[in-house]
Amino acid sequence: MGINCGILRGGALALALAGLGACDMVGPATAPPGVSAPPRPDLEPAPASEASRQVTTYFAAQENSLRARGLMRTDGGGADTPYGASALASNFTRIALFNEYTDVGGRIVQRPSPGSLRRWEGPVRLRLEFGAQVSPDTRRKDGADVAAYASRLARATRHPISFVGSNTSASAANFHILVLTEDERRSIGDRLRALVPGIDDQSIALIETMPISVSCLVLAFSRSGTSVYSDAITIVRAELPDLTRLSCYHEELAQGLGLPNDSALARPSIFNDNEEFALLTGHDEGLLRILYDARLRPGMREPEARGLIQIIAAELRSGES
């Protein structure tokens, strides 16, 4: 499997992977230890390990530091963050049509390069799966958050995107969101192979050895070397504090729809490594609307798509420049 685009920014990793192979989807295998159905009401998760407690402490301090500096805004921007059609079009080009990280000899390195437009053509069905050590309160909160966000993404893209829940069979979904503690993530390989048949060892190793500098990641897959996504896996650390965890859902699910890169010029946006905004903004909804506009096609590159992107952005911004 070859990586055709990638990004490492703001503690979140997003990669789009191609060449998964023309294999049929099959039902999931039995979950390995640590990944299970929601706990029974009379049972509580096991106490957190020392490794998990260290991760909790690290990200709590990180979130407190960012918020103390006025970052991780949740207001979506305002009078202090104006943008027009030209900025929206330029930001879309950088974020959707360029790769920041690529695979070089099996290593992921920062090397900007032109890419092609990638997105889903069929319905996107999101499913949450929690590790056994994730608390019932977190499961309930995150389920409600992801359900609401799926509806917002569907409105922004005008594409069929739905949340199928967390108690449903994994075979009902093609975009799997795994919320795992440090110990659970380190041994999740068998479950990943069941969820995405054909996933390669490099992708599994990327997840199981995820450094503490990365809070969450998404891998989007296309089969037979096309630019159309067929499967995706998002990994979110269960130890994250509430806002950081919600920010991961917003960032990774949007990236997994086909916005894998970032731009230092994008504002107000979560597709910027400065961490100013924690949640999807109106600007970012515009990027998603452009991405799923029927006038664009998977596989298009910047020279071919440039004029259409400018037209769509101008329509969205009502002629502003």
Query: Any idea where the domains of the chain sit in the sequence?
Result: 2-20+48-316
Neighbours of 105 (CB within 10 A): 5
Helix (H) or strand (E) holding 54: helix 50-68
pLDDT for 46 = 74
pLDDT for 155 = 98
Strand partners, 219: 15, 233
pLDDT exceeds cutoff 90 at 106: no
Strand, helix or coil for residue 42: coil
CA distance linking residue 36 with residue 120, whole number of Å: 28
Say what percent of the chain tops pLDDT 90: 78
Using alpha carbons, select from 125, 178, 133 the residue that is nearest to residue 153.
125
The DSSP letter of residue 315 is H
C-alpha distances (whole Å) from 141 to each of 89, 138, 181, 185, 313 are 35, 5, 17, 21, 35
| pLDDT tens digits, one per residue of 12-60 | 555 555 444 322 222 222 333 333 344 444 456 678 899 999 999 999 9
User: What mean pLDDT is predicted for residues 55-84?
Assistant: 97
